[in-house]
Structure 1
């Protein structure tokens, strides 16, 4: 069975977004198209247009938090201005999946409860809702590789690169074209890239979207680390990253 894949490097400004479109089958993931976002084409329409003439299940892999820390939500529900908050800042502002990835991969994701990434998370949730509206179909999170319909997962390209042992120092810098080319070559040895990756000379947005498809392949092949039993995943979400020890 073939699964449609969409990788999205999320941002609040469409001009800073990247998209990768492809498929997954028994032969692995194939990148068919990689593009940059524009203000003229709304992100949801870019996705809906690509899916219009496609059938079968679809997995969206989004580089953005899709939930907030449960302890913070519980505290703020009854908090009044000027009163103290129970718990440390890290306990309140970081999710269980953020701590898990730091422990297992050594990468610290941005705190969705405290950093500007919260605006990106909001934009990602708006994107999902807009796609639901355009396609007139539900989108829920996928928790295992066996699914149908349209599903989404949260991914973290920087952690995916570490999990695969891919050196990525400097690949996000404006002058990091050489690093981006090296990363793309390494990723291309793991998934099939049949389309050029745009703007490699100046930015990593489209490349990050391609890496999202590598993370999607890890998820679909059962190589990504699942949530801990005690993790409040329905509230907080989960970052799917390849297990670097097992695989």
Structure 2
């Protein structure tokens, strides 16, 4: 099996891509690229068994309805005063709330945080994949699944705090060491240095590991009664088993 992980950014300069090759005994990083353009992303994802993208695949359905109503001048408020709960309903998707409840960790809002710019790029990427014959099922059932590396690390018992940006390379190095100890069967090959110096590269590897979990069915399921909503908003693949379960 070949899994791909994408740490997506609004532009290619901070976009990273990892390719893992799986055998009966573990996995090896086949390639780890930074500064990845759309053409490379499409080709690599198309040639993978499963790809994990670290970016929301959709927007909150309530937010979409809110914007449409506002544009049409037909917005109906829930009462005389709007509440935090009302605003949160516009800011967070069903999967965001689910993950927060499961791991006690917040998720960025695709409708009100800067990650929205990256989500625009992700929407374009989904359209390009569809044109290439690889349409994206936002529930994760197809060739692409949405991932959240911090949540995966949390589920695997690895502390995902304070490793972002170049100011925190020491913490990132410790996290890489923790990953190596927790998954000795993962061969970083010649890319360990890249993981230790770039959180984008490291997150791409975690995204590829999470894609493997999703491919094996080792992630949280959504309530079937919410399938229509998830198909529009997207669903984060949250691992349910330890890293070692990925070796099967």
TM, length-normalised to structure 1: 0.81
1:32 alignment partner in structure 2: 30
Confirm or deny that 1:228 pairs with 2:223.
Answer: yes
2:22 matched to 1:62? no
1:77 paired residue number: 68
Displacement of 1:201 after TM fit?
A: 5.9
Report what 2:21 is aligned to. Answer: 23
Q: 1:62 to 1:193 in 2, by over 3 A?
A: same
Q: CA deviation at 1:26?
A: 4.4
Provide the aligned length of Structure 1 versus Structure 2. 231
1:1-35 deviations in whole A, cap 9, x for unaligned? x2x21111011121111110123454444321112
Which whole-Å CA distance do the structure 1 matches of 2:188 and 2:6 have between them?
Answer: 16
Deviations 1:131-183 (A, max 9, x none): 454xx3223227577x6xxx100000011111111023221132222221222
The aligned residue for residue 189 of structure 2 is 194
1:29 touches 1:217 (CA, 8 Å); kept in 2? no
Q: 2:157 aligns with which of 148, 158, 165?
A: 165
RMSD of aligned residue pairs (Cα, Å): 2.7
Out of 108, 111, 123, the residue aligned to residue 121 of structure 2 is 123
Q: CA deviation at 1:105?
A: 0.9
**SS of structure 1 residue aligned to 2:167:** coil
Q: Does 1:214 align with 2:195?
A: no
Q: Which runs of 5+ in 2 are unaligned?
A: 79-84
Cα gap change, 1:197 to 1:81, in 2 (>3 Å): farther
Which is strand-richer, 1 or 2?
A: 1
Q: Distance in 1 between matches of 2:57 and 2:13?
A: 21
Give TM-score scaled by structure 2 length.
Answer: 0.81
1:239 to 213, 236, 247: 236
3-state secondary structure, aligned to 2:136: strand
SS at match of 2:219: coil
Contact 2:51–2:144 at 8 Å: present in 1 too? yes
Q: 1:226/1:195 Cα in 2 relative to 1: closer, same or farther (>3 Å)?
A: farther
